[in-house]
Amino acid sequence: VAAEYDSSRGGQARATAAARDLAAHLSGGELLELGVGTGIVAEALQREVAQLHRFAGVDISARMLHLARPRLPGGLLRTSADRLPLPDRQFDGVVAVHVLHLVTDLEATLAEAFRVLRPGGRMVALHGEPRHDQDDDLRRATRGLRALRPRSQDSAAAVRAVAQATGFDCLEQHDASPRIARHSPADLADLIARRSWSFLWSLDDQLWQRHVQPVIAALLALPEQDRPRVQSEWATVTVLQRPTEPGRS
Ligand SMILES: C[S@@+](CC[C@H](N)C(=O)[O-])C[C@H]1O[C@@H](n2cnc3c(N)ncnc32)[C@H](O)[C@@H]1O
């Protein structure tokens, strides 16, 4: 999905809003983004975070990193967030935006973030299945997809529990700024048909025919095929801190 990621997920408006949500809890220094993707949020963070000295990003996808390179020259590394080839206590902040639902090992990912943070450093994550404000014809037509979504490992409660077990203090959890989604029925049917979301990637033909094909048909039967429906969605912002160590600087 690298090539269409930015345009299909809210573009610059989404990235700027996410960066502002994160920057409100960060105080510069050296930052690391886990799952940096196309670098669209990283680019906005470099504008929004004051006194930033260095910004590094990691991602598991070569295609995403290829798109991120012009936005974050020099600071990118291809690796999994649960195995960071980086020294201990190097960063003042670690950020993760819509990544915690994808990592195969959430415990190891948060443990790695903890390890590379300096004591007193913060991890700020934007995560969780978004909450919606309204039930329109698009949401009704796509209801059949909900059964296919895996149980969310990145709910507010799950992330808080894993983070605290890792040793983090959970300073705050709150709604992120709304993301404004604009999809027409035709555009959404096309994105679903091309498996643009990760929960669709590994479905076999039988599940596809039973659950996904009827949703695509329902979307294509809606009136005003090319009129975008506007929906607001709220994910969660979680602010974690590696505790300071009394007696150590
Ligand atoms: C939904 S995208 C979000 C990208 C970016 N944070 C943003 O908001 O624009 C998730 C990203 O996480 C990356 N990713 C998935 N699993 C990962 C892992 N285990 N380690 C590092 N990156 C991972 C994907 O390749 C993808 O670029």
pLDDT band at 238 (very low <50, low <70, confident <90, very high): very high
Residue 82: what residue type? D
Nearest alpha carbon, ligand 1 atom 15 = 102
Residue-wise pLDDT for 199-219, tens only, equals 898 899 999 999 999 999 999
Global pTM? 0.88
Residue 246: what residue type? P
SS3 assignment, position 44: helix
What does each C-alpha distance from 162 to 52, 79, 147, 191, 236 come to in angstroms? 28, 22, 25, 33, 15
41 touches ligand 1 (CB under 6 Å) = yes
SS3 assignment, position 207: helix
59 touches ligand 1 (CB under 6 Å) = yes
Between CA 179 and CA 188 the distance in angstroms is 16
127 touches ligand 1 (CB under 6 Å) = no
User: ∠ at Cα 238 (50, 34), nearest 5°?
Assistant: 70
Mean pLDDT on 46-74? 94
**Pick from 242, 5, 237, 219: which is nearest to 100 by CA?**
237
Q: Please say if the pLDDT value at position 82 is more than 60.
A: yes
71 touches ligand 1 (CB under 6 Å) = no
Report the separation in Å between the CA atom of 127 and the middle of ligand 1, taken as the mean of its atom positions.
12
pLDDT band at 83 (very low <50, low <70, confident <90, very high): very high
Between CA 44 and CA 57 the distance in angstroms is 13
Q: Please say if the pLDDT value at position 150 is more than 80.
A: no
Q: What is the pLDDT of residue 248?
A: 58
